[in-house]
Structures are given as C-alpha cells and as structure tokens.
C-alpha cells in the first residue's frame, strides 16, 4: 500500500510537471 501511494504521488508529480511544460 505504501509503495502504491508513493507511485501514485510520483505519477501526480510527473503529470503536473508535464502539464506545466506544455
């Protein structure tokens, strides 16, 4: 569960960064 949550946070951060660059 902890790893899943971490992965989810990482995905959110990546998506946010991508949106920012775009």
pLDDT at 19: 86
pLDDT at 15: 94
pLDDT at 1: 65
pLDDT at 7: 95
DSSP readout, 1-22?
Answer: -HHHHHHHHHHHHHHHHHHHH-
pLDDT tens digit string along 1-22?
A: 678 999 999 999 999 999 877 7
Q: What is the pTM of this model?
A: 0.44
The whole-angstrom separation of Cα 13 and Cα 6 is 11
pLDDT at 21: 79
């Amino acid at each position: 569960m902890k790893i899943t949550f971490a992965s989810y946070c990482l995905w959110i951060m990546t998506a946010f960064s991508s949106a920012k660059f775009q």
